[in-house]
């Protein structure tokens, strides 16, 4: 008798399940890649808070600012030393509980991880001070450390908690006010408390530090990704576009526009380029058509061929 052939089971693939698995693997891979950024970012934030802002009495907002105020008030009026790590716990725990209630645990888990690292580092870091007497230098040093640290955290989709998280949570209740405005209001109130605690001079330098910090964060987040956008309207579009493409090896896009005053249809050239190329593009436009309309704008991020080719 012939043996009955065993029927092969055809394994069906569920595209939805496979896509879900792929997304999960990509998420884990990205999280592992971002882990060093979270740790280093939290460390720089802790160093800036403990060794720069706290000894100098500069309050730049956030829970770190509240912790500095609490420490100063405790020592000055009650003779109680409230360490920075304890202030971080006292102020952040209720904020986290409120944020979890409003947004859910998944929304705050990364920031919670950063906050735990930050609090632990504030606890274990030895007490020392190496800041200069010049408050301007203190503001600059602190803003660079805090700016790079915050930039790392933001690039890894997290923050150090505090006012950022509270602002997002409050937005669920106060819909009429944007998250950014709520964060500004919270930080403004904390800086005002710093004014009462440390005086006008320290507060002015704290504001300078906040400004520099914002610039440092922008530079970090857009490093190597910024570019210029040149918009050209000319009667010699073909000649200009051809020379840009051949001599600079830059792509040019032709858009169709209509002059509302003249009623004439015109082609508009659009070119994304580096700062270096922009100078040469100006010369090319001037050579072919000195009467051309030429507009230059800043591009925060340019990704793709010729710029940052790997998406992050």
- Residue 199 lies inside a defined structural domain of this protein: yes
User: Do 175 and 34 fall into the same domain?
Assistant: yes
Q: Which of 176, 192, 221 is the last residue of a domain?
A: 221
- Residue 207 lies inside a defined structural domain of this protein: yes
Is the distance from CB of 119 to CB of 190 less than 8 angstroms?
no
pLDDT number for residue 10: 53
pLDDT number for residue 184: 85
Q: Which of 221, 245, 272 is the last residue of a domain?
A: 221
User: Do 217 and 238 fall into the same domain?
Assistant: no
pLDDT number for residue 222: 74
Distance CA 110, CA 311 (A): 21
User: Do 55 and 157 fall into the same domain?
Assistant: yes
Angle of the 179-198 helix axis to the 163-171 helix axis, nearest 10 = 140
Distance CA 172, CA 99 (A): 10
pLDDT number for residue 304: 73
- Residue 33 lies inside a defined structural domain of this protein: yes
User: Do 242 and 213 fall into the same domain?
Assistant: no
pLDDT number for residue 26: 80
pLDDT in tens, 230-286: 999 998 999 999 999 998 888 999 999 888 888 888 889 999 988 888 989 999 999
For residue 299, the surrounding DSSP H or E stretch is: strand 293-299
pLDDT number for residue 20: 76
Per-residue buried b or exposed e for 186-212, using 16+ beta carbons within 10 Å of the residue's own CB: bbeebbebbbebbeeebbebbbbbbeb
Name the domain count of the chain: 2
- Residue 305 lies inside a defined structural domain of this protein: no
Distance CA 271, CA 231 (A): 7
pLDDT number for residue 95: 92
User: Do 127 and 254 fall into the same domain?
Assistant: no
Q: Which of 221, 254, 272 is the last residue of a domain?
A: 221
For residue 247, the domain's CATH number is 3.30.70.120
Per-residue pLDDT of the chain (312 residues; tens, 9 = 90+): 445 555 555 556 677 777 777 778 887 888 888 899 999 999 999 999 999 999 999 999 999 999 999 999 999 999 999 999 999 999 999 999 998 988 788 778 888 999 999 999 999 999 887 677 889 999 999 999 999 999 899 888 888 888 888 888 888 888 888 877 888 899 999 999 999 999 999 999 999 999 999 889 888 887 766 788 999 999 899 999 999 999 888 899 999 988 888 888 888 999 998 888 898 999 999 999 999 999 999 887 787 776 665 555
**What range defines the domain where residue 146 resides?**
24-221
Gyration radius (Cα) of the chain, Å: 27
Structure tokens at 55: 């000894």
Output phi, psi for 48, to 5 deg.
-60, -40
Distance CA 198, CA 178 (A): 30
pLDDT in tens, 104-120: 887 788 889 999 999 99
- This prediction's pTM: 0.76
Using the structure block, give the residue that is written with the tokens 């947004």: 103
Eight-state DSSP code of residue 51: I
pLDDT number for residue 195: 95
User: Do 138 and 256 fall into the same domain?
Assistant: no
């Amino acid at each position: 008798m012939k043996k009955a052939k065993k029927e092969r089971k055809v394994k069906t693939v569920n595209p939805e399940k496979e896509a879900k698995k792929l997304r999960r693997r990509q998420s884990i891979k990205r999280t592992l890649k971002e882990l060093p950024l979270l740790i280093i970012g939290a460390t720089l934030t802790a160093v800036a808070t403990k060794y720069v802002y706290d000894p100098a009495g500069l309050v730049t907002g956030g829970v770190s600012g509240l912790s500095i105020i609490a420490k100063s008030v405790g020592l000055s009026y009650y003779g109680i030393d409230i360490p920075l790590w304890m202030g971080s716990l006292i102020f952040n725990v209720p904020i986290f509980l409120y944020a979890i209630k409003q947004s859910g645990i998944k929304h705050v888990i990364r920031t919670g991880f950063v906050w735990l690292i930050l609090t632990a580092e504030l606890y274990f870091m030895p007490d020392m001070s190496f800041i200069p007497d010049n408050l301007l230098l203190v503001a600059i040093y602190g803003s660079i450390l805090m700016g790079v640290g915050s930039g790392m955290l933001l690039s890894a989709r997290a923050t150090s908690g505090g006012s950022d998280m509270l602002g997002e949570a409050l937005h669920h209740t106060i819909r009429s006010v944007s998250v950014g405005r709520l964060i500004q209001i919270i930080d403004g109130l904390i800086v005002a408390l710093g004014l009462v605690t440390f005086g006008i001079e320290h507060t002015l330098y704290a504001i300078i530090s906040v400004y520099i910090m914002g610039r440092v964060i922008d530079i970090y987040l857009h490093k190597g990704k910024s570019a210029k956008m040149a918009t050209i309207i000319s009667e010699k579009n073909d000649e200009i576009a051809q020379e840009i493409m051949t001599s600079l090896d830059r792509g040019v896009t032709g858009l169709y526009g209509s002059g509302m005053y003249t009623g004439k249809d015109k082609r508009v050239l659009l070119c994304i380029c580096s700062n270096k190329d922009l100078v040469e593009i100006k010369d090319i436009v001037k050579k072919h058509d000195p009467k051309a309309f030429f507009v230059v704008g800043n591009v925060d991020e340019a990704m793709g061929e010729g710029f940052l080719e790997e998406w992050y």
